[in-house]
Amino acid sequence: MMNRPIVLVSMGALLASLSGCSSEQDELKEWMEQQRHEVQPSVPPLSPPQKFNPRAYVGGDGVDPFSSQKLTVALKQEARQPNSAVSAELNRRKEPLEAYPLDSMTMVGSVNRKGAPYALVQVESLLYQVKVGDYLGQNFGKILKITETEIELREIVQDAAGEWIERPVSLQLQETAR
């Protein structure tokens, strides 16, 4: 029975604090309503939308920047320059393996014939014998050296500035799992 008066006192204190909250809430609501009436928003009016005037596209009459004709003309102009690295390459007859990209080729072996090294290159399902001096790939790749495990080539490619440069490339021996 001793606990009952303590419970009653705490209940009374709780009710008193809650009633204080409700009066604070009422004051807050009144203040918010007063502020709503006193403060006027100052938003500038929106400007009307500008009229859109469509125009016909006139670039269709120009030269397509990705045209193969444009590239061919540029390559021929480059070939006319006497010190161009690509000029000699454009004037020679293409070899069959230059029709395929280098990454579609696989070196599958090497042999020596009459003291000269030859590499065996597989393209699609066909097997080719290549020697030093032959060409591979679509970037004027000339074979410089053949070892038992790789073919070293020199390719001629354009850099970011459009200049023709030589870069070394190699084709590694690929062992097939049987």
Predicted TM-score of the model (pTM)? 0.53
pLDDT at position 90, please?
Answer: 77
If the chain, 178 residues long, is cut into consecutive pieces of 10 residues, what is the mean pLDDT of each piece? 66 64 80 86 88 84 75 72 68 90 92 92 92 93 93 88 85 75
- Give me the residue spans of the domains in the chain: 95-172
**DSSP annotation string for 120-160:** EEEETTEEEEEETT-EETTTTEEEEEE-SSEEEEEEEEE-T
pLDDT at position 22, please?
Answer: 65
pLDDT at position 76, please?
Answer: 73
| Residue pair 103/97 in contact by the 8 Å Cβ criterion | no
CATH number, domain 95-172, options 1.10.3720.10, 3.30.505.10, 2.40.50.140, 2.30.30.830: 2.30.30.830
pLDDT at position 84, please?
Answer: 61
d(CA 155, CA 167): 5
pLDDT at position 131, please?
Answer: 94
